[in-house]
Amino acid sequence: MLRVTEIFRSIQGESTHAGRPCSFVRLTGCPMRCVWCDSEYTFSGGEHLSLETVLDKVRDFGCKLVEITGGEPLAQDETFTLVERLCSEGYEVLIETGGYISTERVDPRAMIILDVKCPSSGEEARNWWPNLDRLRSDKDEVKFVIADLEDWNFTKGIIERYGLDRRAKILISPAWEAIDLKALAEWVSSSGLDIRMQLQLHKYIWGAEARAV
Ligand code: SF4
């Protein structure tokens, strides 16, 4: 069984896939507690659904792209089977993970959007750095959520130290309402790095508090 907070169809809101029709499976539970977390409602509750029920719902939505998110999707063991089944059925599968749990067991056909937690998240110490070794430049993306200048300097340091902008697509996200967007745009545009600033499309369309969008 999988513990599921919500399953819905929307458009993909952040990543290089933003704007595409997408089915979302949002799993319940996360071992981290990021200061600016926008999905605290996934920390508890949820509904226990069988793998087949989840697959049926995804099939009904009819989207080629499926995102498995949370919470922390990799914290549930059956997630790895779900990903495998979806890949075998021909879906493009995105996994949005907080970066604390190893991605080693993820089906290699899936695409990983890996968070690197910046200092303002309060969870920097829990980044599982070996995950960076598994990045594939043609599939995977690394996301940094920036709340202030310290986060930005940390981000630049990590990208440069690991040569990350050559090894994955790099997403720079502003922490919601925490940072001046024009300042962040200036930092990104003058960085000399091959990176991408992104906004959370779904929040601009439906509002920050909306669920299942
Ligand atoms: S990893 Fe994601 S879901 Fe977990 S606390 Fe951090 S932002 Fe929230």
Q: Quick check: CB of 33 below 6 Å from ligand 1? A: yes
Residue 35 confidence class, pLDDT cut points 50, 70, 90: very high
Nearest 5 degrees, angle CA 186-CA 190-CA 193? Answer: 120
Instruction: Answer yes or no: is the C-beta of 73 below 6 A from any ligand 1 atom.
Output: no
Query: How many angstroms separate the CA atoms of 23 and 12, rounded?
Result: 8
Pairing between strand 2-11 and 21-27? antiparallel
Considering the chain, what is the average pLDDT of its residues? 97
Query: Cβ-count burial of 139 within 10 angstroms (0-12 exposed, 13-18 middle, 19+ buried)?
Result: middle
Alpha carbon 66 to its chain's center? 12
In this predicted structure, what is the pLDDT of residue 65?
A: 98
> Packing angle between helix 78-88 and helix 51-61, nearest 10 degrees?
40
The per-residue pLDDT for range 37-59, each reduced to its tens digit, is 999 999 999 999 999 999 999 99
Mutate to test the pocket of ligand 1, among 14, 28, 30, 68 (most ligand atoms within 8 A of CB): 30
Question: Residue 130: in which H helix or E strand, if any?
Answer: helix 130-133
Give the amino acid at 99. Answer: G
Per-residue confidence at 81, pLDDT binned at 50, 70, 90? very high
Name the DSSP letter for residue 125.
G
Section 184-209 average pLDDT: 95
Residues 149-168 pLDDT 10s: 999 999 999 999 999 999 99
pLDDT of residue 164: 96
Give pLDDT tens digits for 112-140.
Answer: 999 999 999 999 999 999 999 999 999 99
Q: How far apart are CA 136 and CA 138, in angstroms?
A: 6
Atom of ligand 1 nearest to the CA of 30: 4
For residue range 5-21, list pLDDT tens digits in order.
999 999 999 999 999 99
The number of angstroms, rounded, from the C-alpha of 166 to the middle of its chain's C-alpha atoms is 19
Q: How far is the CA of 210 from the centre of ligand 1 (A)?
A: 17
- pLDDT at 7 (0 to 100): 98
Strands (E), 65-158: 65-69, 92-97, 111-116, 141-146
**Residues across the chain:** 213
Structural element, H or E, at residue 165: helix 164-167
Strand partners, 3: 48
115 alpha-carbon distance from chain centroid? 6
- With a pLDDT cut of 70, the percent of the chain lying above it is 100
At 118 the pLDDT is 98
